[in-house]
Amino acid sequence: MEIGELIYQGKAKSIYKSDNDDELIALFRDDMTAFNGEKHDQFSGKGVYNATVSAFFFDYLEKHGIKTHFIRMIDEKTMLVSKLEMIPLEVIARNRAAGSITKKLPLKEGQVLNPPVIVTDYKDDAKGDPAVNDDLILALGLLTRDELNEARRTTLEINKLLYDFFDELGLVLVDFKIEFGRRGNEIILGDEISMDSMRLWDKETGESFDKDVYRFNKGDVMTAYARVVEKIINWKKEQIK
Ligand code: C5P
C-alpha cells in the first residue's frame, strides 16, 4: 500500500491519500493534546493504542449493524478507511455528568443521566467548538432533518453497544465523542473511537482510564491506556475460548 500525499493534519491523526480515490489512510500519531492544543506532549506507543482500540470498536460496531469508515489496518498505527465528506460536528453522548457539562449546568460530577444526553458542537477550533442545537444544525445546512434523526438514532445505538461492552469489562462509559461523514447519501461513522475521545471510569473505584489522566495529571496516561487495551485483548481471548 502506497501512502500518498498528506491531505489533513489533525491534533493526533494525519490523513493521507491512498492509491484508490475512494479510500484514505489514517495514521494515528503519538501526539496528545488537551485544552484545544494548549497542552501538548508525545507518548511513544500512544498512536498504536488508539489505532488498536479504534479498529476494534469499528469492527465491533460493524458486526452490530453500524456502518463505519473502517476498512482494515495497514500496520499497527495506520488504518485504511473509506473516504467520507466529513460533517463538522462533534456528537457527544453522555451517560454521566462530567467535564464541560458540570461547569455549565447544575449537574454533579458522576451524576447519572437517564436517558442519556446527546449534545452537538460545531467543529471550529478558532471559535472553541460552540454548542449547536438541532435548529442551528439545520440552519447551517450541516444535516437534513432525516439525517439529523438518523445521526441521533445511530449515536444512541452506539452508546448502548459501547456502554454494555465496557460494563462487562468493569468500566463505566461516562461519555464519548464521535464524528459522522457522508458517503453518497449515507451517514457513516468516521474519525476514531479511542481513549482520547471518551471518559472511562473504573466501576468500583471511579479511577479514570482516559485522556482525563493526561488533562488533569492524574497519573501515567500510557499505563491507563494500556489497561484498556489489555482488557479488550482479554475480552477477545474469552470470545474464542
Ligand atoms: O469537554 P467535554 O467534557 O464536553 O467532553 C465530553 C466528551 O467528549 C469527553 O469524553 C471528551 O474527551 C470528548 N471530546 C472530544 N473532543 C472534543 C471535545 C470533547 O473527544 N473536541
Which amino acid is present at 106?
P
* Binding site membership of 211 for ligand 1 (Cβ less than 6 Å): yes
Strand 85-86 with 78-82, pairing: unpaired
* Binding site membership of 198 for ligand 1 (Cβ less than 6 Å): yes
The DSSP secondary structure of 59-102, one letter per residue, reads: HHHHHTT--BSEEEEEETTEEEEE--EE-SEEEEEEEE--THHH
Task: Please tell me the distance between residue 2's alpha carbon and the centre of ligand 1 in angstroms.
Answer: 33
Atom of ligand 1 nearest to the CA of 176: 10
How far is the C-alpha of 142 from the C-alpha of 146, rounded, in Å?
A: 12
Task: Please tell me the distance between residue 180's alpha carbon and the centre of ligand 1 in angstroms.
Answer: 15
pLDDT in tens, the chain (241 residues): 789 999 999 999 999 999 999 999 999 999 999 998 899 999 999 999 999 999 999 999 999 999 999 999 999 999 999 999 999 999 999 999 999 999 999 999 999 999 999 999 999 999 999 999 999 999 999 999 999 999 999 999 999 999 999 999 999 999 999 999 999 999 999 999 999 999 999 999 999 999 999 999 999 999 999 999 999 999 999 999 8
Would the CA dihedral through 231, 233, 234, 239 be positive or negative? positive
Q: Dihedrals φ, ψ of 31, to 5°? A: -75, 140
How far is the C-alpha of 151 from the C-alpha of 186, rounded, in Å?
A: 10
* Binding site membership of 99 for ligand 1 (Cβ less than 6 Å): yes
How far is the C-alpha of 111 from the C-alpha of 97, rounded, in Å?
A: 5
* Binding site membership of 129 for ligand 1 (Cβ less than 6 Å): yes
What's the confidence (pLDDT) of residue 199?
98
Contact of 84 with 186, CB cutoff 8 Å: no
Pure H helices in the chain: 46-63, 100-104, 134-139, 145-168, 212-215, 221-240
What's the confidence (pLDDT) of residue 206?
98
* Binding site membership of 176 for ligand 1 (Cβ less than 6 Å): yes
Mutate to test the pocket of ligand 1, among 36, 39, 92, 209 (most ligand atoms within 8 A of CB): 92
Q: Please confirm whether the linkage preceding 115 is cis (ω < 30° from 0).
A: yes
For ligand 1, atom 20: residue with the closest CA: 197
What's the confidence (pLDDT) of residue 202?
98
* Binding site membership of 179 for ligand 1 (Cβ less than 6 Å): no
What domains sit in the chain, N to C, each tagged with a CATH number?
6-82 (3.30.200.20), 85-220 (3.30.470.20)
What's the confidence (pLDDT) of residue 81?
98
* Binding site membership of 100 for ligand 1 (Cβ less than 6 Å): yes
